[in-house]
Structure 1
Amino acid sequence: MTDLPQPITDWFTSRGWAIHPHQQDMLDAAQSPSTLLIAPTGGGKTMAGFLPSLAELHTAPRDGLHTLYISPLKALAADIKRNLRTPVEEIGLDIRIEDRSGDTSYTQKRRQRAAPPHILLTTPESLALLLSYEDAPRIFAGLQRVIVDEIHALADSKRGVQLVLGLSRLQSLAPDLRRVGLSATVEDPKAIAAFLAHHPQPTKIINADPGPDPDITMLQTEEAPPWSGGGGRYAIPAVLEQVKQHNTTLIFHNTRAQAELFFHHLWLANEDKLPIGIHHGSLAREQRVKVEQAMVEGRLKAIVCTGSLDLGIDWGDVDLVIQIGAPKNVKRLVQRIGRANHRYNAPSKALLVPANRFEIVECKAALDAAKEHDLDGDPRGPGPRDVLCQHILACAAAGPFIAEELFNEVTTAGPYVNLSRADFDRCLDFCATGGYALRAYDRYQRIIERNGKWQLRDPRSALQIRMNIGTIIDTEMLKVRLKSRRGGAPLGEVEEGFAATLTQGDTFLIGGQIVRYEGLNEMTVEVTRRASDNPKIATFSGTKFATSTQLSQRILRIFQQNDWPDLPDHTSEWLKLQRKRSKLPEPGRLLIESFPQDDRHYTVIYGFAGRNAMQTLGLLLTQRMEQQGLEPLGFLSTDYATMIWSLQPVVNPASLFVLDNLREGLEDWLAGNAVMKRTFRASAIIAGLIDRMTRGQRKSGKQATFSSDILYDTLRKYDPDHLMLDITREEAMKGLIDFGRIEDMIARTHGAIDHLQLDRVTPLAAPLFLEMGRVPIKGAAEERLLVEEASALMAKAGLE
């Protein structure tokens, strides 16, 4: 057993603390090449990560960088610095601790490079930037430990891939480097361990005592949830009552827009003038810092927030978490629950607030999964090549390199262990020439081989490369205007992701009007008015997350129960009526309902494949229906279903679900769709083909799109096998399109389709008619009219 130095032991004793078993395990494993600690929130896992460093720096004082701490959030690094300085100062350790992020001053950054602190707290982007400097070998030569906090949050993103490429570089600069990963929520410890490090010696996995299960229930409200919608506004009186009863409450939302709307209505209902704040990533830094400081000081009763507070910031007095809307992902729910009660071996308390009637079932599925410790997670694919291209350019900015050595280094990073030399060389050639169609242009020839080493063709380009390091691509909002020679009247804004799904002639709803998409002109969506009762594509917004595969399967299993005693009466009666009038979807089979409504024929496919996949399915099925002469008019998609309305009935749905035909339809759709251009732009920015920053100025979305559209069209015409087009297709298929989940849906149902032809709308389908954009009712009487519309519809479905 490794003993702590006496001053650190005395400090623990003075606090009335004893070292936890997993903290002792981390001390004992201090010399292990890589260690993954899985410990509950409040279990002292951050201290466990730092204890070996504090002990080593006390026992053998030294200058220079000893420990590098990497966090997904700048706020988390700042919080750790604040909390770590307390024991260091109280123990009297001569240890310099600093943080480094985009908010750090230029002067401080220069000083850190010249004289690094003992412990540096930073983010993946700042590490990548540090590694791109010529003096990186000197800065990191003596590095002993790297601690990756909340590693699960990085493992699922390109930021995490960028990080592990940085770790492979660090290992070359500091061969004795030991890696540590920390997390409270890991669905597959072996996969995360392999992501952290790929050594001949496996990563040591330490599991702390998980402590008591969280106290998590659904919030009871006087008013039943609405049939559709995602805001949870109906629950505000009950939420305010909970806020009054607790010290500090975090109220989580899945989107920033939902958080803003909920905060607005919460504030209007806050007659007691309770101190309530809001926190999300779109707020100005000064406002975020102000709210964070008020939280630390205990001056706020509640904070309405998003994923910006998902991770392990210790806000001290938080004793309740409320999740508004279904969490969509069990792992995210468990992570958020952990924000309540940072005391070891004390249960966290959380309440779920389903935003609508269907989400009651989803919340029940999430509750069951959390209690069973069944975390969700999809298999991780190979490392994306656009991130690899950026890494190659950053390595060149740091100095000349030998291709063979860099390839060997990259393949020690978990996501790239199976990278072929041919794929690496394609990325290297892209960085050197831009590819076949672009090699004639000097600006794309960025690196060159001289004397067996690759280096920057122009050393001055190092600054440009550094300014564009990073994998986060901002989401653009696009203006919608009526098409006119002089610039038509503005109608509002839509997310770029929605605009990317449109092809000329598509109709959609905005501001209560149905408009026809005519094209994209310099980042403005141009439309014409359309005299129609139905939009072909109803605008879809709400959650940026898709319900996970595991959670979807749990919902299907709940449907198969004989009774639902754990669900509210109104929900169990709804499901019973669905079973009586039609049937409930079940695992291994695909339920499709057809029925008439308002002189139209409706077809509802209960695919449970997540919102993106169901949206893509709607696009592909309406295309197939068009070919079969069924005259589809439009569709709407949610996480669990796609509803299509047409002039002709669907009699043989199996013919629509031939996978090869769907793939062929996808190819045709992609060829004429903006989604590929949007995906190309994101990957081209990451790969360094398009600059987002030029001499300190960020390009506007309009400029970046103009550049990327020209490049995309050029490559498609002259170099269809170009690396960037391959990358674009891979990214599109697993991103906005999510075609893989459509393939999984077809594979798991094995062609077993239950097609029910009914005489009227069914209980399960009825809420789809009330989804945003489906019922275009606007004006002063909007809410009353919607209530009347809902009542009439539900009565027809037998629900009222």
Structure 2
Amino acid sequence: MSALPPSLSDWFAAQGWQLHPHQQAMLARAAARSTLLIAPTGGGKTLAGFLPSLAELGAAPKAGLHTLYISPLKALAADIRRNLRRPVEGAGLAIRIEDRTGDTTYTQRRRQRADPPHILLTTPESLALLLSYEDAPRVFAGLQRVVVDEIHALAESKRGDQLMLALARLEALAPGLRRVGLSATVEDPPALARFLAPGTEVLEADPGPDPDIRMLLTEAAPPWAGGGGRYAIPAILDAVRRHRTTLIFHNTRAQAEIFFRDLWLANTDDLPIGIHHGSLSREARERVEQAMTEGRLRAVVCTGTLDLGIDWGDVDLVIQVGAPKNVKRLVQRIGRANHRYNAPSKALLVPANRWEVVECHAALQAVRARALDGEPRGPGPRDVLCQHILATACAGPFEAAALYDEVTSAGPYTGLSRAEFDACLDFAATGGYALRAYDRWQRLMLRDGRWQLRDPRAAAVIRQNLGTIIGTETLKVRLRGRMGGAPLGEVEEGFAATLTQGDTFLIGGEVVRYEGLNELTVEVTRQPGREPKVAVFGGTKFATSTQLSDRILDLLQQDRWPDLPDHTARWLALQREVSALPRPDRLLCESFPHEGREHLCIYGFAGRNAQQTLGLLVTKRMEETGLAPLGFVCTDYATLIWGLEPVLDIGPLFDIAALRAGLETWLAGNAVMKRTFRDVAIIAGLIERQHQGRRKSGRQATFSSDILYDTLRRFDPDHLMLQITRDAAMRGMVDFGRIEERLAAVAGRIELRRLRSVTPLAAPLLLEPGRIPVQGAGRERLAEAAAARLMAAAGLG
């Protein structure tokens, strides 16, 4: 067991701090090869991860890198640096602590490689870059421990796979390296432990008291459709007034911007309120973080950028606006309030519309039952592996067998076959069968049994394109000025393309006027008082998890709903009276006429992506059977289709073999596949995001990826990139697996109710935005009918 240096123990005592049992346990396990600590938010888990390192460095400080801390967020790394320096400096320990992220200057990065600190705080992307340099063996030779914070968040994306490959590389450079994973919200601890490393020990702390969480009661009922929670602003402001500091979470950046502006207009008391999301400039985010640290803000409107571990002890209330979609995410956000051990977190849920009242209630039940959700992880993605192979070559020659052994020691890649690895190596070396004739993809060559870069100058381009965060292409937004104005943030390239000079939009809570595009920068001036457009920001749009959807279906089976507001309980009761409520063991479909069109509503409860795919596939089946569909719209729980003919026989529309065949046909030339291919190709290194320091525009990257996609489909349909694309599309945007699971669960029990008019549960879908038209026989019939009426009016009938 490691013992804390006396000076550090004395400093803790002077602060009135006493180590928690799980912190003592981490000290006792200092020599363990790999440990996953699960502790509640505010339980000091980050300090627990560092205690063995502080004990070792305090007892025998040595020059060089001892501990590497990896965070999913740059802001979290900076926050940890501030918090960790306090005990280190207070105890007078000679320990250098620095952070290294995309915001670190070039000079600082060079110095850190030449003279590493004892503790380096970084992100997966910066670590991948560090490992790609020739001096990586020297930089990491003395590394003793890696601490991975918020590992559950990393495990849900390709960033986690990239990180696990990097840790396998580190293990080769520093044998005997010890790993520590830290997380507050884990639905399957053994699975997360295997992800971190085979043989990882799991240490679970006392989970602490249940959170104080409920739905916010408002005078006005939520609207029938839409999002944003504007109706609840008076009640939210009242809650902000009654608490020291409130975090107000939203699921999307655009909703956060709209809500912040509406909140500010209603803020007649001039309460200091800020906004924080990933599309704002670093300077804007840091100003808000500093103001929060100093206790100068009463509330912050935010998104997922503040989901994770920034320690603001004065936050005593969390408000989630909009259904959380995922119980684990909700628990993580709730934990931002009362960020102290054994203090209950206080949170309010604000449903954005009537249906979300039901979803929020189901989420509350899950939180109280400590039932977290999560989808099982698939095998490590091969596009990430291709990038890792190229990055490894940047650092120097390697043997294929040794790299294969290294890669398969990483948790996500333990099941990778040698044939799969060799296919990735062949792609990294030549681009694959259809592309090997082109010099630009001839990147690796075999010499004396070792693979190396064919042209050492390629290393700079490969390093510029490392990383797995793709998202939507964005453009920087700056205030116009002679010397280059202050940065405000970024907006999606597609949104910028719609702007003409004089248009106004919201960013960072400000209304700005579009003045022009200078290279890849949107130049603006401040324009208060104008009614703005809503800017489009990158960021994830969540789908309701499978487990939460199942809980909602179970809730609908109750005879009565005494815990729901009267307006929602009456709505559900009326649905049961005029039709039926969806059930877990069958698929409810409703058919009814409305405003001269026939409608079909399918209550699939499969999440937005899967419901949209279902709409595309069912309308295709309807087109094939002469039902003349015209369009559809979807939510997380249902798909509403309208057309010219009533659906009287539902069975043929859900023939699984026909749906699969339709999916294959649809995917072949679909924009979803092209978009997915572009993302996969960028990660794998087939397409460059940046070249010689200049970023390509999204249109340039899309143009080249579309050409490549069409070429490979024609000449090499089994190309590795197409295989990876299909796998990624099926799991992501298409989510066909959830449709298959739902149809398997109902086992042919598909109930069609033919009704005379729209039903209570279907009515809100008629108000949903995002309608998708169907081009086919229905549109042709409408055009022919319109032409006939026109000719008749002209006397030509």
TM-score (norm 2): 0.89
2:8 touches 2:88 (CA, 8 Å); kept in 1?
no
Residue 242 of structure 2 aligns to which amino acid in structure 1?
Q
1:8-47 alignment, distance < 5 Å? 8-47=8-47
Cα distance in structure 2, aligned partners of 1:572 and 1:233: 22
Residue in structure 2 matched with residue 793 of structure 1 by the alignment: none
Residue in structure 2 matched with residue 791 of structure 1 by the alignment: none
Q: 1:302 to 1:604 in 2, by over 3 A?
A: same
1:751-762 alignment, distance < 5 Å? 751-762=748-759
For 1:153-179, what per-residue CA distance to the aligned partner results, in whole angstroms no more than 9, with x for missing partners? 000100000000000000111111000
Cα distance in structure 1, aligned partners of 2:464 and 2:400: 24
397, 402, 405: which is aligned to 1:405?
402
SS at match of 1:85: helix
Deviation at 1:775, TM superposition (A): 13
Residue 264 of structure 1 aligns to which amino acid in structure 2?
R
Deviation at 1:184, TM superposition (A): 0.5
SS at match of 1:63: coil
2:128 touches 2:163 (CA, 8 Å); kept in 1?
yes
SS at match of 2:580: coil
Residue in structure 1 matched with residue 57 of structure 2 by the alignment: 57
Residue in structure 1 matched with residue 598 of structure 2 by the alignment: 601
2:465 touches 2:690 (CA, 8 Å); kept in 1?
yes
353, 357, 373: which is aligned to 1:356?
353
For 1:734-777, what per-residue CA distance to the aligned partner results, in whole angstroms no more than 9, with x for missing partners? 1111111111111111111111111111111111111125699x
SS at match of 1:350: strand
1:36 touches 1:203 (CA, 8 Å); kept in 2?
yes
Deviation at 1:316, TM superposition (A): 2.3
Determine if the alignment matches structure 1 residue 76 to structure 2 residue 73.
no
Residue in structure 2 matched with residue 750 of structure 1 by the alignment: 747
Deviation at 1:671, TM superposition (A): 2.1
SS at match of 1:239: helix
SS at match of 1:227: coil
1:258 touches 1:542 (CA, 8 Å); kept in 2?
no
Residue in structure 2 matched with residue 248 of structure 1 by the alignment: 245
SS at match of 2:705: helix
Deviation at 1:543, TM superposition (A): 7.6
647, 650, 667: which is aligned to 1:670?
667
For 1:362-406, what per-residue CA distance to the aligned partner results, in whole angstroms no more than 9, with x for missing partners? 000000101111000001000110000000000000000000000
Residue in structure 1 matched with residue 100 of structure 2 by the alignment: 100
2:628 touches 2:645 (CA, 8 Å); kept in 1?
yes
2:240 touches 2:299 (CA, 8 Å); kept in 1?
yes
Determine if the alignment matches structure 1 residue 228 to structure 2 residue 225.
yes
Residue in structure 1 matched with residue 91 of structure 2 by the alignment: 91
SS at match of 1:257: helix
Residue 113 of structure 2 aligns to which amino acid in structure 1?
R
1:148 touches 1:182 (CA, 8 Å); kept in 2?
yes
Q: 1:61 to 1:2 in 2, by over 3 A?
A: closer
SS at match of 1:179: strand
Determine if the alignment matches structure 1 residue 124 to structure 2 residue 124.
yes
Cα distance in structure 2, aligned partners of 1:696 and 1:680: 24
1:721-732 alignment, distance < 5 Å? 721-732=718-729
Cα distance in structure 1, aligned partners of 2:668 and 2:133: 41
Determine if the alignment matches structure 1 residue 432 to structure 2 residue 441.
no
1:590-669 alignment, distance < 5 Å? 590-669=587-666
302, 306, 326: which is aligned to 2:299?
302
Cα distance in structure 2, aligned partners of 1:733 and 1:609: 14
Residue in structure 1 matched with residue 508 of structure 2 by the alignment: none
Residue 96 of structure 1 aligns to which amino acid in structure 2?
R
Deviation at 1:5, TM superposition (A): 2.6
565, 576, 581: which is aligned to 1:584?
581
TM-score (norm 1): 0.88
Deviation at 1:469, TM superposition (A): 0.3
Cα distance in structure 2, aligned partners of 1:495 and 1:86: 42
Determine if the alignment matches structure 1 residue 281 to structure 2 residue 278.
yes
Cα distance in structure 2, aligned partners of 1:428 and 1:434: 9
Cα distance in structure 1, aligned partners of 2:220 and 2:77: 42
SS at match of 1:278: strand
Residue 558 of structure 1 aligns to which amino acid in structure 2?
L
Deviation at 1:494, TM superposition (A): 9.1
SS at match of 1:35: strand
Deviation at 1:677, TM superposition (A): 1.1
CA RMSD of superposed structures (Å): 1.8
Deviation at 1:139, TM superposition (A): 0.6
Residue in structure 2 matched with residue 786 of structure 1 by the alignment: none
Deviation at 1:474, TM superposition (A): 3.0
Cα distance in structure 2, aligned partners of 1:604 and 1:257: 28
Determine if the alignment matches structure 1 residue 455 to structure 2 residue 452.
yes
Cα distance in structure 2, aligned partners of 1:178 and 1:551: 36
Residue 552 of structure 1 aligns to which amino acid in structure 2?
S
Determine if the alignment matches structure 1 residue 696 to structure 2 residue 693.
yes
Cα distance in structure 2, aligned partners of 1:729 and 1:466: 27
1:509-520 alignment, distance < 5 Å? none
565, 571, 574: which is aligned to 2:562?
565
Cα distance in structure 1, aligned partners of 2:580 and 2:494: 38
Q: Which sections of structure 2, spanning at least 5 residues, go unmatched?
A: 476-490, 498-519, 521-535, 774-797
Cα distance in structure 2, aligned partners of 1:662 and 1:678: 22
Cα distance in structure 1, aligned partners of 2:554 and 2:44: 37
Residue 407 of structure 2 aligns to which amino acid in structure 1?
V
2:585 touches 2:749 (CA, 8 Å); kept in 1?
yes
Q: Post-superposition, which runs of at least 4 consecutive aligned residues in structure 1 deviate over 4 A?
A: 493-497, 773-776
Residue 14 of structure 1 aligns to which amino acid in structure 2?
A
Q: Identity of aligned pairs, percent?
A: 73
1:151 touches 1:182 (CA, 8 Å); kept in 2?
yes
For 1:199-258, what per-residue CA distance to the aligned partner results, in whole angstroms no more than 9, with x for missing partners? xxx211111111111100000000000111111000000000000000010000000000
For 1:299-320, what per-residue CA distance to the aligned partner results, in whole angstroms no more than 9, with x for missing partners? 1110000001000001221100
Deviation at 1:588, TM superposition (A): 1.6
Residue 407 of structure 1 aligns to which amino acid in structure 2?
Y
SS at match of 2:371: coil
Q: 1:294 to 1:408 in 2, by over 3 A?
A: same
Cα distance in structure 2, aligned partners of 1:342 and 1:649: 56
Residue 196 of structure 2 aligns to which amino acid in structure 1?
L
2:473 touches 2:697 (CA, 8 Å); kept in 1?
no
Residue in structure 2 matched with residue 396 of structure 1 by the alignment: 393
Cα distance in structure 1, aligned partners of 2:717 and 2:582: 42
Deviation at 1:542, TM superposition (A): 11
1:2 touches 1:24 (CA, 8 Å); kept in 2?
no
Cα distance in structure 2, aligned partners of 1:262 and 1:571: 24
